[in-house]
């Protein structure tokens, strides 16, 4: 990507071979396009987003409406995915669940990046005492089962202290508070390396302030790995929500969370397996799509993969 040195042709005519100028994102997109699995993942995610948006304004039946037909009814033409143990339309609830999945996934990725990126940048840029403190927290965190701390946080924040009502937001907060360390560690490493580079030194010599150096010069150059890390945070958050709701510690009952639906259906699994199959398959496909896209992005942003 660097400027190519002028090449002197044998006939002594000076000609510059100007390499094509592409931005990081264009370059990554070109390589991502060649990865079929990542594209499939992206397509599935696009469908998920569309379903989630549609579910805000329209679902075949209201997601909470009980007894729209006989309970435990298997799939039929009227109810494509059947009815659950309370006679609710499962297709509608899957659509509503898509919205919750999107909210939890995107919300967590955004909030944990907002916590992790500044802390990682500060630790890597200032080093010394700032770094010691932040790294201390990061290292402690690697010795604990983080999801279980998040589980307790959800419980304490919503049920016990009544700070945040039990809902999507408290799950996002609890997850982000225990998972920002991944991003912080990555950004710290990036900014430790980038702060020694010539362009940062040049910017400092030109009189750039610390904040300008950090956000205008170091941050944009660490963007690729950050995007990859944030993409992998989405399936983790989605799985965390499903895990909590499945155990009955997540979203409260009428909410059409896929985890809670799986837990509902699990009790009647031997005679009505369709109730448990729909949400678990939806969840698995969603997680798969995000993981494929994440893998694709990682390869696309990795300079070593450049051909």
Partner 1 sequence: MRGTLLYIGQRLILIAITTVLVSSIVFLLLHQIPGNAFLNETRTTPQALAADLRHYGLDLPLQQQYVNWVTAVVHGNLGESLVNRGVQITPLLVRETSVSATVGFFALFVTIGLGMLLGVFAALRQNTWVDYVASSAAVVGYSIPAFVIAIFMLLIFGHYFFVWTQGTVYYNVGWGDWTQVPVPAIALGLPYASYVARLTRASMLETIRTDYVRTAWAKGLKARIVVLRHALRNALIPVVTILGPLVTGIITGSVVIENIFGIPGLGKEFVTSILARDYNIVIGVFTFYAALVGLANLTVDVIYPALDPRIRY
In the complex, the residues that contact partner 1 under the rule CB under 8 A are 37, 140, 142-149, 151-153, 155-156, 160-161, 235, 239, 242-243, 246-249, 262, 266, 269-270, 273, 276, 280, 283-284, 287-288, 291-292
**Cβ nearer to partner 1, comparing 254 with 273:** 273
Handedness of CA 201, 202, 207, 211 (dihedral sign): negative
Quote the least distance from Cβ 130 to partner 1, whole Å: 21
**Cβ nearer to partner 1, comparing 76 with 139:** 139
**Cβ nearer to partner 1, comparing 10 with 143:** 143
- Classify the phi-psi angles of 133: left when phi > 0, otherwise alpha if psi is within -120 to 50, otherwise beta: alpha
Q: CB of 219 within 8 A of CB of 117?
A: yes
Quote the least distance from Cβ 126 to partner 1, whole Å: 25
Residues whose CB falls within 8 Å of the CB of residue 42, separated by 6 or more in sequence, listed in order: 289, 293, 296
**Cβ nearer to partner 1, comparing 112 with 282:** 282
Quote the least distance from Cβ 289 to partner 1, whole Å: 8
DSSP 305: G
**Cβ nearer to partner 1, comparing 64 with 266:** 266
Distance CA 37, CA 23 (A): 24
**Cβ nearer to partner 1, comparing 203 with 277:** 277
DSSP-based helix, strand, coil % in the chain, nearest 5: 70, 0, 30
Distance CA 299, CA 32 (A): 8
**Cβ nearer to partner 1, comparing 96 with 235:** 235
Q: CB of 147 within 8 A of CB of 134?
A: no
Quote the least distance from Cβ 247 to partner 1, whole Å: 5
Quote the least distance from Cβ 87 to partner 1, whole Å: 22
Handedness of CA 58, 63, 66, 71 (dihedral sign): positive
Residues whose CB falls within 8 Å of the CB of residue 25, separated by 6 or more in sequence, listed in order: none
Quote the least distance from Cβ 288 to partner 1, whole Å: 4
Quote the least distance from Cβ 260 to partner 1, whole Å: 12
Give me the helices (H) in 195-266, please.
198-205, 210-212, 219-221, 223-247, 258-266
């Amino acid at each position: 990507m660097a400027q190519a040195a002028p090449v002197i042709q044998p006939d002594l005519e000076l000609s510059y071979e100007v390499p094509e100028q592409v931005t990081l994102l264009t370059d990554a997109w070109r390589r991502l396009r060649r990865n079929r699995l990542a594209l499939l993942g992206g397509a599935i995610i696009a469908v998920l987003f569309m379903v989630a948006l549609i579910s805000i304004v329209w679902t075949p039946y209201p997601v909470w409406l009980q007894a729209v037909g006989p309970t435990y009814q298997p799939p039929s033409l009227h109810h494509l995915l059947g009815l659950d143990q309370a006679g609710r339309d499962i297709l509608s609830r899957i659509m509503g669940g898509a919205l919750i999945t999107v909210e939890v996934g995107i919300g967590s990725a955004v909030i944990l990046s907002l916590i992790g990126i500044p802390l990682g940048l500060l630790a890597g840029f200032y080093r010394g005492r700032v770094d010691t403190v932040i790294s201390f927290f990061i290292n402690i965190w690697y010795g604990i089962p983080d999801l279980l701390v998040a589980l307790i946080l959800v419980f304490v924040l919503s049920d016990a202290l009544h700070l945040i009502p039990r809902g999507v937001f408290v799950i996002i907060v609890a997850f982000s508070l225990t998972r920002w360390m991944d991003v912080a560690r990555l950004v710290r490493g990036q900014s430790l390396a980038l702060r020694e580079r010539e362009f940062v030194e040049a910017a400092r010599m030109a009189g750039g302030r610390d904040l300008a150096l950090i956000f205008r010069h170091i941050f944009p150059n660490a963007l690729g790995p950050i995007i990859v890390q944030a993409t992998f945070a989405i399936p983790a958050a989605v799985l965390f929500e499903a895990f909590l709701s499945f155990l009955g510690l997540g979203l409260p009952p009428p909410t059409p969370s896929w985890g809670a639906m799986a837990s509902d259906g699990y009790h009647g699994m031997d005679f009505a397996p369709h109730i448990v199959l729909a949400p678990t398959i939806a969840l698995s496909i969603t997680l798969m799509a995000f993981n494929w896209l994440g893998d694709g992005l990682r390869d696309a942003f990795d300079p070593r993969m450049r051909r």
